[in-house]
A and B are shown apart, each in its own frame.
Chain A
Amino acid sequence: MTTMLEPSMTDVEMVVTEVWSSFLGDSDPLLIGPPATLDVGWSSAVTVSGEWHGMISVELPTGTAEEITRRMLMVDATPDEDVADAVGELVNMIGGGVKSLMPGPSALSLPVVAAGRVARPSDVVEVCRFDATWAGAPLVVSVHVQNSHH
């Protein structure tokens, strides 16, 4: 039996903020909202399957994804392979944090990363959206659940 729960906005904000400060430092704090128009250059997603089913995704402008890569890898050049890796690890940690908020047991998928928007299944609905600004650019973290479970 699946559980039709969704994480609270406050909890998702807490998870995202903790991941950001742990791995990207506090010199550029993550500023919450408001929703902004986002030119998605990179995105990544993980799914949680088990007692709770959901999909957690991160959408970033290209420049932000590259800056995250520079800071995580401590490199200057940011080939696409490294950007995909860094953005994938970011959503892996956020997804793991969201998973920990929800009833288990459940399994976390490996991250899926796309230049542009990650494809979403047609039967999912957004239940939580976290808009933020980091290093002067907007980003979005969202949680989707299957429509039939919502």
Chain B
Amino acid sequence: MYALIIDDSRAMRSILRRIVTDLGFETLEAADGQEALDHLNAGRIPTLCLIDWNMPVMDGYTFITNVRANPEWRDITLMMVTTESEHGQIVRALAAGAHEYVIKPFTPDAIADKLELLGLVAKAVPA
């Protein structure tokens, strides 16, 4: 499984990469929505996209609308990971086709919990 991490911050991409790698994903990265679309158009189709909202060139919301406009990409799970926490923006992102929404700052467990809910990682069983 591939996760495409879309964030203009290299530090944030690094943090997310460590989290999803620990959960069993291989990763691709993009610094903005357009770079992420370039991956998809080149045939690099991930299982999961982790998407920041505020980025130069193309923001995360526009990326989501572009992905959802292409039926060939309907199986991609889209998860916003952003500092934007206004209710209206969350509703807007979900209405545009995001499956989940995580607000920064987050913990690794918060990401894992969301991915469990989405059925992308196995639920942890207490020892």
Chain A residues at the B interface, C-beta cutoff of 8 Å: 18-19, 22-23, 69, 72-74, 82, 85-86, 88-89, 92-93, 95-97, 99-100, 104-106, 108-110
Stretch at the interface among B39-47, B80-88, B119-127: B80-88
Q: Is residue B69 contacting chain A, with contact meaning CB distance below 8 A? A: no
Q: Which residues of B contact A (CB under 8 A)?
A: 8-12, 14-15, 18, 54-56, 82-86, 88-89, 103-107
Contact with B83, one of A69, A73, A92 (Cβ below 8 angstroms): A92
Q: Which of A18, A22, A105 contacts B88 (CB 8 A)?
A: A105
Check if A72 sits within 8 Å of B86, measured CB to CB.
Answer: no
User: What are 15 A-B contacts defined by CB distance under 8 Å?
Assistant: A22-B106, A73-B11, A73-B14, A74-B14, A82-B10, A85-B9, A85-B11, A89-B9, A93-B104, A96-B85, A96-B103, A97-B85, A105-B86, A108-B54, A108-B84
Most chain A CB within a 10 A radius of its CB, from B56, B84, B89: B84
Known pairs A22-B105, A92-B9 / 19 extra A-B pairs, C-beta < 8 Å: A19-B105, A22-B106, A22-B107, A72-B11, A74-B18, A82-B11, A85-B10, A86-B11, A89-B9, A89-B12, A95-B83, A96-B83, A96-B103, A99-B86, A100-B86, A104-B88, A105-B86, A106-B86, A108-B83
Contact partner of A100 among B9, B85, B88, B106, CB < 8 A? B85
Q: Are B8 and A110 in contact (CB under 8 A)?
A: yes
Residues on the A chain within 8 Å of B106, using CB: 22
